[in-house]
Amino acid sequence: MTVVRWLVPLAMVAALFMAFVFAPTEATMGDVQRIFYFHVPSAWVAFMAFAVVFVASIQWLRTRSQRWDALAVSAAEIGVLFATVALVTGSIWAKPTWGTWWDWDPRLTSTLILWLIYVSYMMLRSVIENPSKRASLSAVVGIVGFVDVPIVFMSIRWWRTIHPVVITGNSMNLDPSMLLTLMVCLAAFTLLFVHLLGMRLALEQQREEVNLLREAILYEE
């Protein structure tokens, strides 16, 4: 994780350079299109985070090991954060492009539903005190909620939408320099996700250790 910690700032600087200097200005939308290089990676990280929640939740139900629950909640918080960034940057991009901050487009609507599902996941965890029951119920939400991820991804292919389609079949509708910029930004955000997940997981493990110590002290008293 030490290597990742040092790579993250370098990768983010490279992503900023590629997005604001290297990438050409889009002919129709102009400079506002550069939001794309942060909007898409944010959505990508959210999807990855919710995939981790999905796998960790299954593992919790299978093994009842606390480390899987810790991984699930850590990833869920990061996923909600980046889903929020994706929604906000998408709205900022939509205003000058579509003339509105929000449109009930299938991609936007399904993404909002995904965000609400995992916000509900976090709220559920906050109201249940029993650790085992909390982990089990939230695991069910984490597993079922992940169903919306492929729906979000495929929404622009299944329904009529004004959202742009970047990936078509085996190709991408991007200028080569724009595609290279997107790849760099995706790599940078992926490294950031790995770093944040490691930090958040360490925090969750420390919290569990504190809880165990508190229980031991109360037991001695």
Report pLDDT digits (tens) over 159-177: 777 676 666 655 666 788 9
CB 157 within 8 A of CB 103: no
pLDDT in tens, 85-135: 999 999 998 888 888 888 888 888 999 999 999 999 999 999 998 889 999
CB 138 within 8 A of CB 121: yes
pLDDT at 39: 94
| Token representation of residue 46 | 């959210």
What is the distance between the alpha carbons of residues 18 and 188, in angstroms, rounded to a whole number?
11
* E strand or H helix at 169: none
87 compared with 4, residue with greater pLDDT: 87
Report the mean per-residue pLDDT for the chain.
89
| Token representation of residue 188 | 């940078």
Residue 201 has pLDDT above 60, yes or no: yes
8-9-14-18 Cα dihedral, nearest 10 degrees: 90
Query: The pTM is what?
Result: 0.89
Give the angle 81-82-87 at the CA atoms, nearest 5°: 105
